[in-house]
Amino acid sequence: MELHILEHSLKVASIEKDGIQVCTHGLIKLAFLASKTRCKFFSLTETPEDYTIIVDEEGFKELPQSEHISVAEATWLALNVVSGGGNTSNSQPIGVTKIAKSVIAPLADHNISVFMLSTYQTDFILVRERDLPMVMHTLSSEFTLLRVVNGETVAAHNLGITNGFVKPKLGRLPRPIIHPLSSPSNMFCVTSLDPDTLPSVATLLMDVMFYSGGPKEPGASGDDSSHIRFFSFSLIEGYISLVMDEQTTQRFPNNVLFTSASGELWKMVRIGGQPLGFDECGIVAQIAEPLATADIPAYYISTFKFDHALVPEENIQSVIGALRTESSAQ
């Protein structure tokens, strides 16, 4: 297995709902006019609380300075796990549980905070740039470590954590779930579309991203308090990923969105009662490890304030049961 350290230097930011209008010029450019920017990594996720932006340094230049934007202090690097030939575009999405025991848990055991972004194509593990030497040291025995430099994949050189440092042999640490969990009533789709078709649905996507969040949205479950607003759009190295609820997919023309042969729907587990912050370690592992043990696939999307796991609709009851078992173990 290979662990690729991508060359993007990333910023994670939150845009207040009330302030999104000051940012739409830059966000529309990043999402729909990629040829007019040098940005290669852009993700926008809307939750009930805010918009979370993950963007590389070139893309960050497109956003205005504003009191409505909060930026996490660190610079982040994206890692992803590649099996075999390394062509992620041809691989089926397998979700974060496949890397829970090999990547997520060891990083948590070594007190390395991660920020997850699952997409239709792959799973990105974001780590602080300053933590990279420890990340490499922690994972070097399990993976071939490669860095992407100017688009080329080259061997990642050890960054020097050897002097007197002995990697502890850690057993499975107890990792009880300590944050409240909730499951909205929506069902979600994880999908994509051909970038060539993006112009044909650009106005619809703009509507979904920026203008459809009001309480009187047509077709929304107005009386269902557990129905939440959640939409994620990523344009990363030319590949588009979309996460949206089932109602939103019905607004798109037929045959535009990619779907699996099974037309799979996903239920969400939302993690956190208060904003989680960026310093606590092990939150992703608390969720991903029990799912991996139960062999339940999942996508995982961290946002500025809360975390979100997506599991197959038919597994939601067993997922809640497994996670509650972990929670009661504390």
Q: Kindly report, residue by residue over 65-86, the tens digit of the pLDDT.
A: 999 999 998 999 999 998 755 4
Query: Across-strand partners of 302?
Result: 307
What are 178-222's pLDDT values in tens digits? 788 999 999 999 999 999 999 999 999 999 999 986 544 444 444
Residues in the chain: 330
Q: Measured at the alpha carbon of residue 330, what is the angle toward residues 181 and 320, in degrees to the nearest 5? A: 30
Give the domain 1-211+228-329 fold: VC0802-like (3.30.2130)
* Per-residue pLDDT at 100: 86
Domain parsing of the chain, residue ranges? 1-211+228-329
Structural contact between residues 138 and 107, judged by C-beta atoms closer than 8 angstroms: yes
Intervals of the chain under pLDDT 50? 86-93, 162-166, 215-222, 330
Residue 286 tokens, joined: 């608390």
Question: What is the pTM assigned to this prediction?
Answer: 0.89
* Per-residue pLDDT at 115: 94
Note the Cα 216 to chain centre separation in Å. Answer: 28
Q: 76-82 and 114-118: which strand pairing?
A: unpaired
Close Cβ partners of 56 (under 8 Å, ≥ 6 residues apart)? 8, 9, 10, 11, 39, 40, 41, 42
